[in-house]
Amino acid sequence: MTAPVFLADAAALRAADVVVLDGDEGRHAAVVRRIEVGETVELTDGAGQLARCLVVGVSKQGLTCEVVARVEVPEPRPRVVVAQAIPKGDRGETAVETMTEVGVDEILPWSAQRCMVRWTGERGDKALRRWRSTAREAAKQARRAWLPVVGDPVGTPGLAGRVAGAALAVVLHEEASEPLGAVNIPADGDILLVVGPEGGLAPEELDALATAGAVVARLGPTVLRTSTAGTVAAGIVLARTPRWTTRP
pLDDT of residue 248: 63
Is residue 208 within 8 A of residue 196, CB to CB? The reply is: no
Length of the chain: 248
Residues 193 and 231 sit within 8 Å (Cβ to Cβ): no
What is the Cα–Cα distance from 230 to 126, expressed in whole angstroms?
Answer: 22
Is residue 196 exposed (0-12), middle (13-18) or buried (19+ Cβ within 10 Å)?
buried
Q: What's the N-to-C CA distance of the chain in angstroms?
A: 16
Q: How far apart are CA 210 and CA 237, in angstroms?
A: 20
Sequence spans of domains, the chain: 5-72, 79-245
* Cα–Cα dist 220/146, whole Å: 30
pTM assigned to the model: 0.94
Q: Give the Cα separation of 2 and 4 in Å (integer).
A: 7
Can you give the pLDDT at residue 229? 96
d(CA 122, CA 128): 10
Domain covering 79-245: architecture: 3-Layer(aba) Sandwich (3.40)
CA 143 to centroid of chain Cα atoms: 12
What is the distance between the alpha carbons of residues 7 and 69, in angstroms, rounded to a whole number?
16
Give pLDDT tens digits along the chain (248 positions).
Answer: 689 999 999 998 988 899 999 999 999 999 999 999 999 999 999 999 999 999 999 999 999 999 999 999 999 999 999 999 999 989 999 999 999 999 999 999 999 999 999 999 999 999 999 999 999 999 999 999 999 999 999 999 999 999 999 999 999 999 999 999 999 999 999 999 999 999 899 999 999 999 999 999 999 888 899 999 999 999 999 999 999 987 66
What's the confidence (pLDDT) of residue 168?
A: 98
pLDDT computed for residue 221 by the predictor: 87
Contact by Cβ (8 Å): 150, 230: no
Domain 5-72 adopts which CATH fold? Ribosomal Protein L25; Chain P (2.40.240)
- Residue 110 identity (one-letter amino acid): W
pLDDT at 154: 97
Is there a contact between 84 and 92 (Cβ–Cβ < 8 Å)? yes
Rounded Cα distance, 234 and 79, in Å: 10
In three-state secondary structure terms, 204 is helix
H or E element in which residue 194 lies: strand 190-195
